[in-house]
Amino acid sequence: MAHLLDVENLQTEFHTSEGVVKAVNGISYTLEEGGILGIVGESGSGKSVSVLSLLKLLPQPPALIKDGAATFDGRDLLAMTDKEIRAVRGNEIAIIFQDPMTSLNPIMKIGKQIGEALELHMGMNESDARQRTIELLNHVGIPMAEQRIDQYPHQLSGGMRQRVMIALGLSCNPRLLIADEPTTALDVTIQAQIIALVRGLQEETGMAVIWITHDLGVIAGLADQVIVMYSGYVVEYAAVDDLFENPRHPYTLGLLSSLPEMGDDETEELQTIRGTPPDLINLPPGCPFAPRCDYVIERCLAENPPLTTVQNPADPGVEGQTAHLAACWVNVDTGQAR
Amino acid sequence: MPDSKQMPERDRTIGKKALLEVRELRKYFPIRKGIFGRETEQVKAVDGVSFDVFEQETLGLVGESGCGKSTTGNTILQLLTPTSGTVRYDGVELTTLDGKKLRQMRQHIQMIFQNPYASLNPRLTVSQIVSEPLNTFRPQMSKRERQEIVQEMLQLVGLNPAFINRYPHEFSGGQRQRIGIARALTLDPAFIVCDEPIAALDVSIQAQVVNLLRRLQKQLGLTYLFISHDLSMVRFISDRIAVMYLGKLVEVADKDTLYNNALHPYSQALLSAVPVANPKRERNRQQIILQGDVPSPANPPSGCNFNTRCPVAIDRCFVEEPALREVETGHWCACHLVD
């Protein structure tokens, strides 16, 4: 199957008065048509910046896309002019953000906001757009859509606003939906609703999804492929089951074991990852995780490990079976250099 | 309504002394409208909550945003004046204490806040922040003694005492939360309200802070009221858990009972909504997905306030409010469908 999106060696920096913040340091990944890719990382790991760069949604300057290519359906997004990318954004690639209150226009009725996208991208007239908007709002589970369409964002709850954002994202039948921490600001019962909704819509429309989150639990239930990011690098890249069952990078291992597992017997102490993430202005030479790593060897301090295959797929012929990649000099099973 | 006379007797069967006894606590906020500021409605943020916190235990108070869990914490500490109800701490009724006596009580009851960026004064050094409670409560103490206490506190929470003259902005979120914890411990309190202390921190840092809180509890014999929306962390740190919905407690039980045998439909849905970091289990488990949103606390539904979202509601739930009853020893639940 053809790749829908091919990101290669993406590098994004921010030029600030304090120095150059190296937010994304050469990441590569591919996404199949209809696949769900999870990007996991903590704050400052570059997970949001990496997708905002693709859609040219970062103000330049201070941001600078230093290098890389992002081929979407045969076209390089990074080489597009502003006008060209605008035709892709919201149309073929939709994005929903963490905070629906700040991403919706507060002084515009929600129906109008969705209708505008339909008129602009799909060339509908006003009454067709209104009809389609009601359908979309019904589709994402907003009750009484005929009345809701004439309400303003502040009249809706957080969960309802996120549904409006999803309806807006879906309005032009995108081939790729990028969800940037869309449930982080929501309560768990509402988060469960939104995840079930997106999963259902994905199955129905066959769109591809990139879901960015810091919550490994959300990823476990949703993604096929997972990227773990740390300090702007991809440190591990694997199929979801491989990643959770057989984490190969000490950071992933640390993240997974620092979670208190629901349904398991308690332990005395939670495993922790000592220290804090490095300063992105002064990244240490070598592996960025080395100062916090329990497996660190001498080589880690001098040389940053490349992302390499640590395990080949069990059956490469089966669709969705991919190699398991990690950026680490050490084999975490033996503690020895690989 | 829970039977407030019966409750402490029964709860003591667990065999511990109640350090904090909260009975029928209510906090209503007025909504004022019009040019004369006429009170038109009330937001019933906390609406008749009763529970005990036993000595040296952690009671987890969980619920979603707007359910009144933080208001409960603030009202217990008398940072907000309760509309009605009683709060007894170690036998002393806090709601009727005058300002001076209440201030004295505050040495024993401290609070750790959610946002380590907003709860530390950016213009004070770490030393000034941590020693501030001493200025108020131990004015006779010499400067050297104070410095010694600050050093001791910083060591206790795992911060390098050499950082004593730095400012909050020089620290990461997790380190700032440690400063907040050090400040709360300065006066050697017995009871600490932890209001979402890890919600603003990254996953790898959360575990560090939770481990610290647990270690301090053992070392210093502290009692915690741990307010949180993160059910997996609450399970880890708590001995007992109280589940709150729209200003009321719906279930109180020891943690294993709650996680293995939750009786209230809301507790069941809340637990089932928590995603598990295990793809196979996540794919195969049956999730209860609640319909709709939490109703406004200004206008809660009549009868059981969960009836608008409850998947098993019967006619009785729409007319009669269920009381929080003890269904088995130490396990309280407010639901008509639970015998």
Q: Which residue has the tokens 């400040």?
A: B183
pLDDT in tens, A117-148: 888 888 888 888 898 898 888 887 777 888 88
Closest CA to A208 of A55, A61, A1, A33: A33
Where chain B has pLDDT below 50, the residues are 1-14
Q: Does A200 touch chain B (CB under 8 A)?
A: no
Mutate to test the interface with B, among A162, A243, A257, A258 (most CBs of B within 10 A): A258
A189 close to B (CB below 8 A) = yes
Contact residues, chain A, for B64 at CB < 8 Å: 187-190
Can you give the pLDDT at residue B230? 84
Tokens representing residue B319 in the block: 């007319």
Contact B328, B305 (CB under 8 A): no
Tally of CB atoms within 10 A around A314: 9
pLDDT in the model for residue B199: 82
Q: Do B207 and A217 touch (CB under 8 A)?
A: no
- Please report the ipTM that was assigned to this predicted complex: 0.76
Bridge-based pairing state of the strands A36-40 and A208-213: parallel
Of B224, B144, B143, B212, which is closest to residue B182 (Cα–Cα)? B212
Whether residue A265 is predicted with pLDDT greater than 70 in this model: the reply is no
Residues A260, B235: C-beta atoms closer than 8 Å = yes
Q: Does B40 touch chain A (CB under 8 A)?
A: no
Asked if B122 contacts B168 with a C-beta cutoff of 8 angstroms, the reply is: yes
Tokens representing B265?
């439909």
pLDDT attached to residue B43? 87
Give the lowest-confidence range in A23-27, A51-55, A62-66, A321-325: A321-325
SS3 B88: strand
Contact between A276 and B205 under an 8 Å Cβ cutoff? The reply is: yes
Cβ B275–A218 below 8 Å, yes or no? Answer: yes
Q: Do B293 and A190 touch (CB under 8 A)?
A: yes
- Which residues from B are below 8 Å from A38, CB to CB? none
Cis peptide before A61 (omega within 30 of 0): yes
| Structure tokens, B137 | 């409560």
Residues of A in contact with B293 (CB under 8 A): 157, 159-160, 190
User: Would you state the pLDDT for residue B318?
Assistant: 94
**What is the C-alpha to C-alpha distance for residues A59 and A248, in angstroms, rounded to an integer?**
36
Mean pLDDT of A138-161: 82
Alpha carbons A149 and A142: distance in angstroms, whole number: 10
Q: Which DSSP string corresponds to A157-177?
A: -HHHHHHHHHHHHHTT--SEE
| SS3 call for B140 | coil
Which tokens belong to A316?
């490469």
**Count of beta carbons in the 10 Å neighbourhood of residue B17:** 11
pLDDT for position A217: 86
- CA–CA dist A198, B289 (Å, integer): 14
Q: Does residue A203 sit at the B interface (CB-CB below 8 Å)?
A: no
pLDDT over 90, % of chain A: 13
CA distance B147 to chain A (A): 26
Look up residue B61 and give its two tokens.
């108070």
Strand partners, B52: B21
How much is the mean pLDDT over chain A? 85
Q: Are A281 and A21 in contact (CB under 8 A)?
A: yes
Name the residue with tokens 């195969």.
B284
The C-alpha of B258 sits at a distance from chain A's nearest C-alpha, in angstroms, of 11
Whether chain B has a CB inside 8 Å of the CB on A20: the answer is: no
Query: Do strands A308-311 and B18-33 pair parallel, antiparallel, or not at all (unpaired)?
Result: unpaired
Distance CA A179, CA B79 (A): 39
Report how far residue A6's alpha carbon sits from residue A3's, in angstroms, rounded to the nearest whole number: 7
- Provide the shortest C-alpha distance from residue A69 to chain B (in Å): 30
Query: What is the Cα gyration radius of chain B?
Result: 21
Phi, psi of A86 (to 5 degrees): -60, -30
Please state whether beta strands A233-239 and A324-326 pair in parallel, antiparallel, or not at all (unpaired). antiparallel
Paired tokens of A178: 């990028």
Q: What is the pLDDT of residue A319?
A: 52
Residue A28, token pair as written in the block: 């590569």
Residue A44 CA, chain-centre distance (Å), reads 13
- Domain B6-108+189-275+322-333 in CATH: superfamily? P-loop containing nucleotide triphosphate hydrolases (3.40.50.300)
> Is residue B284 within 8 Å of residue B276, measured between CB atoms?
no
| Residue from A306, A316, A338 nearest A237 by CA | A306
Amino acid at A338: R
Cβ of residue B140 closer than 8 Å to a chain A Cβ: no
Using 50, 70 and 90 to split pLDDT, how confident is the model at A61? Answer: confident
CA-to-CA separations, B277 to A189, A308, B116, in angstroms, rounded: 17, 25, 27
B243 DSSP β-pair partners: B62, B251
**Structure token digits, residue B53:** 């916190």
> Measuring CA to CA, how many Å separate B73 from each of A160, A302, B170, B278?
29, 50, 30, 34
> What pLDDT, on the 0 to 100 scale, is given for residue B130?
92
- Contact predicate A78/A70, CB 8 Å: yes
Distance, CA of B90 to CA of B104 (rounded, Å): 14
Task: For an interface test with A, give the residue of B266, B276, B280 to mutate (most A CBs within 10 A).
Answer: B276
Q: What angle do CA B123, B124, B125 make, to 5 degrees?
A: 125
Backbone phi, psi, residue A13, to 5°: -125, 160
Q: What's the order of all strands across the beta sheet hosting A3-16?
A: A19-32, A3-16, A63-72, A75-76
Inter-chain CB proximity A261 and B259 less than 8 Å: no
Separation between Cα atoms, residue A214 and residue A40, nearest integer Å: 5
pLDDT in tens, A297-323: 888 988 899 888 887 766 555 555 578
Residue entry with tokens 């949604």: A57
The beta-carbon neighbor of A214 closest among B203, B210, B292 is: B203
- Residue B7 has a pLDDT of 44
Indicate the SS3 state at residue B209: helix
Neighbouring-strand partners of residue B241: B60, B253
Contact A178, A31 (CB under 8 A): no
Contacts of A196 in chain B (CB under 8 A): 287, 289
Q: What is the pLDDT of residue A337?
A: 80
Secondary structure tally for chain B: helices H, strands E: 12, 12
Q: What is the model's pLDDT at position B108?
A: 92
Nearest-CB residue to A160 (from B232, B281, B293):
B293
For residue B13, the model assigns a pLDDT of 42
